């Protein structure tokens, strides 16, 4: 197994309330991607392969990183449709969409639990389908030759970490909420299993003038 470095996309349209309008990088998101690419080059971090989801924000992040690696686009690396499921939660269970950042700490695990329990009629995919596509895609990448970069989204990264660490929904949701834009998360094979050896690393955003660019939403 090769090790995998998962990367959350740069900041997207943080004022959006639907999937389509969210799916583009903000000006800051483009800067974050470029800074990460500069860091990887200057630190001579070695990767031989690059994978992304098929969403616009994934492609824009990978392009901004300018790694010179040819990206492989894989829809299995796309994010869960949080906005869509939030709308279903409101329509079917009268659970409103958060109006302030702090409310996401209650809303996200609630959405996850209803989704896992099959209580969201018309969800774009089941919890099990999401779990399976993440697992299948990452194992196929790990079976390839050489360390890989995977540009994806926070929900998928939290699922990958939950699978590696056997986390339940409350811990997975807290992890998802903590993941910063363009952060790096590494899964390393130890004894035939993945072990997280890096989580939420943003060395390209650690200088005093860039700390304000450590964003979650």
pLDDT in tens, 35-90: 999 999 999 888 999 999 999 999 999 999 999 999 999 999 999 999 999 999 99
pLDDT of residue 62: 98
User: What confidence tier does 3 reach under pLDDT thresholds 50, 70, 90?
Assistant: very high
How is residue 139 written in tokens? 């194992």
| CA atoms in the 13 A half-sphere facing the CB of 61 | 32
pLDDT digits (tens, 9 = 90+) for 149-199: 999 999 999 999 999 999 999 999 999 999 999 999 999 988 888 899 999
pLDDT of residue 177: 96
| Contact in structure between 128 and 117 (CB atoms under 8 Å) | no
What is this structure's pTM? 0.95
d(CA 76, CA 99): 30
pLDDT digits (tens, 9 = 90+) for 102-139: 899 999 999 999 999 999 999 999 999 999 999 999 99
pLDDT of residue 209: 96
Residues in the chain: 217
pLDDT of residue 55: 97
d(CA 166, CA 212): 33
What domains, with CATH codes, occur in the chain?
A: 13-80+125-152+160-211 (3.40.50.1240)
pLDDT at 1 over 80: no
pLDDT of residue 2: 86
- Per residue, what are the HEC states of the chain? CCCEEEEECCCECCCCCCHHHHCCECHHHHHHHHHHHHHHHHCCCCCCEEEECCCHHHHHHHHHHCCCCCEEECHHHCCCCHHHHHHHHHHHHCCCCCCCHHHHHHHHHHHHHHHHCCCCCCCCCCHHHHHHHHHHHHHHHHCCCCCEEEEECHHHHHHHHHHHHCCCHHHHHHHHHHCCCCCEEEEEEECCEEEEEEEEECHHHCCHHHHHHCCCC
pLDDT of residue 217: 87
User: What confidence tier does 16 reach under pLDDT thresholds 50, 70, 90?
Assistant: confident
């Amino acid at each position: 197994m090769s090790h995998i470095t998962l990367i959350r996309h740069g900041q997207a349209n943080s004022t959006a309330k639907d999937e389509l309008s969210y799916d583009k990088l903000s000006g800051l998101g483009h800067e974050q991607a470029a800074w990460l690419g500069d860091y990887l080059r200057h630190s001579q971090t070695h990767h031989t392969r690059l994978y992304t989801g098929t969403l616009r924000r994934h492609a824009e992040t990978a392009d901004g990183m300018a790694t010179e690696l040819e990206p492989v686009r894989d829809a299995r690396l796309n994010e869960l449709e949080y906005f869509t499921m939030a709308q279903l939660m409101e329509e079917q269970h009268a659970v409103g969409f958060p109006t302030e950042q702090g409310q996401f700490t209650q809303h996200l695990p609630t959405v996850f639990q209803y989704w896992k329990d099959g209580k969201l009629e018309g969800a774009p995919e089941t919890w099990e389908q999401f779990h399976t596509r993440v697992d299948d895609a990452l194992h196929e990448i790990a079976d390839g030759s050489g360390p890989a970069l995977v540009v994806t989204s926070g929900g998928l990264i939290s699922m990958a970490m939950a699978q590696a660490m056997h986390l339940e929904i409350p811990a997975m949701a807290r992890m998802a909420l903590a993941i910063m834009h363009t952060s790096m998360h590494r899964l390393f094979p130890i004894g035939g299993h993945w072990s997280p050896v890096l989580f939420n690393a943003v060395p390209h955003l650690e200088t005093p003038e860039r700390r304000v660019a450590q964003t979650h939403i």
